Chains A and B, each alone.
Chain A
Amino acid sequence: MISMDPETERIFEVVKANVVKVLTGIDPATVTLERSLTELGANSVDRVEVVLYSAEDLGLDVPRAELHGARNLADLVAVLRRHAGR
């Protein structure tokens, strides 16, 4: 389990809520930082949805290029966190 500071935790909760919204029927307990969206059952469109909705909820505008390297939810949260801190 990756430990989280409060800001990271806040962003992760937003991402998690969107994963649950997009991946209908998923058990929220399976959505952890170590997992990738693909592992959780997301297809290419689902992944875009999760990222876009999370950025919108956080009031961020994140260039798509910055998200290409994200291997799991921890990477995604880190990118979002970097923008949130600006």
Chain B
Amino acid sequence: MDPAAPAPFPRVVISGRGFVGGAGTGYPALAAALRADRSAIRVVAGGPRVPALGAPADFVAEPWLAGLAAVEPELGARARRLLRNVPRPALLGVAAAHEAAREAGLGPDAPGTAGTGVIVAGSNLAQDWGFANAGAVLAGRSPNPRHAVVYADSHQVGAVSELLGWRGPGLTVGAAAASGHAALFQAWLWLRAGVVERCLVLGAATGFSPVEAEAFALLGAAAPAASVAELGGPFDRRHAGFVAGEAAAAVVLEVESAARARGTVPRGCLAGAALLLGARHGPEPDVDDEERAMRRALAAAGLAPGDLDLVSAHASGTPAGDRAECAALRRVFADALGRVRVNAPKDLTGHTFSSAGVVAVLACLAQMEGGFLHGHAHLAEPIDDQLRFVRRAELAATRAALVNGFGFGGFAAALVLTAP
């Protein structure tokens, strides 16, 4: 190739980050929790059929709204109108999206940015809200009068668009636990294809109802541990399923030249992405599919396995899921296995489902920026002695990271992040 020829696609950078979850409110709270290996997992419920452990967010809308109104009165009033009487995932989502937009210098007052796109990652986000409304109807009462408008996941797309004054393309994207990856993949394609110059990806919080909590437990996918001490986290010999976490996570993706033209600081680069199906609809992981997704993302980034410093693993926490991922990583990294480090934010944040991929991207950005690797709080005895898991937080430079994400339905996805 002619070295003087222009690159076929523009570089896609991340210029804004937002987080609301168990680690706290705000991306800095997530970064601080990761640096301290601080787990948000605690006992949240009890009962013979409902998982005892969870990692809920302590987020309350009112103080957040008051804080916003104090700094940006008009936006605060708009947010207050938008977020009255809506499902909880929308509260967390709009707060995370606002934080990411503001870091990127975007909002209704930023000239030339009204074409920003919005992609919300996740499907079936307001299950708990639907469950409560079903209860009302079964008891002979009316459903919530806003139900017809806000039960749909796409409500969050409109809410973010209205708050920030954006009129570009927007939609929701679902791929089960790989939804965050799917949304980032979609945004990456839009930016590379020139559809938009910038796009916010919101990994939405997943509001499980007691129905989903019981159903995952019934399947053996949710960790049955009754206390934190009994919990085996991802890749631990005692692993027996995931712990549900609550988090919304947002990033602004931007064509690098457009970001720099606005004077915005790139925080990282989304260098490669892949999303594949496995010709099967069920929950079973597949080593071949996971290997294919990782290799394809690396190829898209133009990197070899030996170029990577870190893998942020999908880390389902189920024995089958963890074993398959370890096997796929051994295949992909082969000779480079001794060089690359492996960790997973799910050990600390719980499994946040729709937002998991975006949370993992934020975790990688925090580690690149802070010069550290986060460890695990629930990993006592790893199931694999070839992979170099980060056991406790340590100082290390990360220039390139692979982020895995797999989902029920045969979804296998991977992203490659590089330092800005």
Contact = CB atoms under 8 A, between A and B. Distances in A.
Interface stretch (B142-150, B259-267, B289-297, B383-391): B142-150
Nearest to B77: A25
A52 interface: yes
A22 B85 CA distance: 9
Interface residues of B, number: 10
A45 interface: yes
Contacts of B148: 45
Interface in B144-165: 145-146, 148-149
A80 B194 CA distance: 56
B145 A52 contact: yes
A75 interface: no
B81 to A, nearest CB: 5
Contacts of A25: 77, 80-81
A45 B80 contact: no
B273 to A, nearest CB: 37
A45 B146 contact: yes
Contact of B81 (A24, A49, A52, A53): A24
A49 B85 contact: yes
Contacts of B145: 45, 48-49, 52-53
A49 B77 CA distance: 20
Interface string A1-30: 000000000000000000000101100000
A56 B80 CA distance: 24
Nearest to B141: A56
A18 B150 CA distance: 20
The contact size tier of chain A is under 10
A55 B142 CA distance: 11
Nearest to B149: A45
Contact of A24 (B80, B142, B146, B149): B80
B149 A52 contact: no
Nearest to A21: B84
A54 B115 CA distance: 40
A49 B142 contact: no
Contacts of A48: 145
A25 B149 CA distance: 21
Nearest to A49: B145
Instruction: Give the interface centre of A22, A24, A52 by most chain B CB atoms within 10 Å.
Output: A24
Contacts of A56: 142
A48 B146 CA distance: 8
Nearest to B65: A24
A2 to B, nearest CB: 27
Contacts of B149: 45
A56 B148 CA distance: 19
A10 to B, nearest CB: 22
A53 B38 CA distance: 43
A53 B143 CA distance: 11
Given A24-B80, A25-B81, A52 B142 contact: yes
Contacts of A49: 85, 145-146
Contacts of A22: 84
Contacts of B146: 45, 49
Contacts of A52: 142, 145
Interface string A50-86: 0011001000000000000000000000000000000
A60 B146 CA distance: 20
Interface string B68-82: 000000000100110
Question: Nearest 7 CB-CB pairs, A to B?
Answer: A49-B145, A48-B145, A24-B81, A52-B145, A24-B80, A45-B149, A25-B77
Interface of A: 22, 24-25, 45, 48-49, 52-53, 56
Given A25-B81, A56-B142, 12 more contacts: A22-B84, A24-B77, A24-B80, A24-B81, A24-B84, A45-B145, A45-B146, A45-B149, A49-B145, A49-B146, A52-B142, A52-B145
20 contacts: A22-B84, A24-B77, A24-B80, A24-B81, A24-B84, A25-B77, A25-B80, A25-B81, A45-B145, A45-B146, A45-B148, A45-B149, A48-B145, A49-B85, A49-B145, A49-B146, A52-B142, A52-B145, A53-B145, A56-B142
